[in-house]
Amino acid sequence: MPGPDLLSSQGLRLDGRRPNELRRIRCKLGVFTQPDGSAYLEQGNTKVLAAVYGPHQASKSKSSSEGVVVNCQYSMATFSTGERKNRPRGDRKSQEMSMHLRQALTAAIKTEMYPRSQIDIYVEVLQADGGAYCASVNASTLALIDAGIPLKAYVCSCSASMAYKDGVPEPLLDVGHVEEAAGGVTLTVASLPSTGSIALLELSHRLHSDYFETVLSRAMQGCRDIEIILDKAVREHLAEGWTKQDVITI
């Protein structure tokens, strides 16, 4: 049975997007000078900062001879949601998010290149409007690239949900807060679009297996779209950064 009307009879979503459209993505690399790499990313009203330190020598307890240890810390700013809440770092939700971030990013980083070292990735959500995890992954990718850490491929994340238009199921790409709150299922996927592999897949509720394929393929399509946007941003940044560096170094 159809839930709340996430799709109008004209096929538009509540915010005016079509089902297969992403929110507006704006991003910038190298926003800070202190860390080795940093990025700022907006996905609609969700705004995220990511900073990367390293690779540097790992502390003894963590160090591994196999490869680099990726250390993630996810946190939300007190002012990031409508109702202001003091959010201590390390609450359950943040810890879970940190772990998920680590899983997705470890899949992309060529870890074997830096044994006994560590990469720290700090993600701060400045404004949350749904899809904070996706934005965090995307921002972290950019920050990693900015830091010059070798990656196997871009790792991009995108969510998708289900809605019904006149009783016909239609997956929605890049779910915003309103659509998330409407109670439908949200599928979040982090993937390496150029290789087609999936780094992380999460479902918020139960989803009937009939719909799984379509929702997943829509989310994967979103990842590919995001990759194009990120790639463009990286190229633009490099183009402009190269000229600047040119001036300074030479």
- Contact set with other proteins (CB under 8 A): 1, 8-10, 12, 15-17, 23-24, 44-45, 82-83, 129, 167, 169, 176, 178, 207-208, 210-211
Shortest separation between residue 207's beta carbon and other proteins, angstroms = 8
DSSP single-letter state for residue 13 = B
Shortest separation between residue 229's beta carbon and other proteins, angstroms = 14
Closer CB to other proteins, 86 or 243, in the complex: 86
DSSP single-letter state for residue 29 = E
Shortest separation between residue 200's beta carbon and other proteins, angstroms = 24
Residue 83 CB contacts under 8 Å (≥ 6 apart), including other chains? none
Closer CB to other proteins, 120 or 180, in the complex: 180
Closer CB to other proteins, 124 or 129, in the complex: 129
SS3 135: helix
Shortest separation between residue 156's beta carbon and other proteins, angstroms = 20
Produce one character per residue of 219-240: b if its CB has 16 or more CB atoms within 10 Å, e if not: bbbbbebbbebbeebbeebeee
Closer CB to other proteins, 20 or 45, in the complex: 45
* Residue tagged 């003894």 (tokens): 60
Question: Beta strand pairing status for 168-173 and 197-203?
Answer: unpaired
* Chain centroid offset of residue 63 CA: 26
Shortest separation between residue 235's beta carbon and other proteins, angstroms = 22
CB 102 within 8 A of CB 109: no
CB 176 within 8 A of CB 135: no
Distance CA 42, CA 149 (A): 22
Shortest separation between residue 1's beta carbon and other proteins, angstroms = 4
Find, among 230, 38, 63, the residue nearest to 134 by Cα. Answer: 230
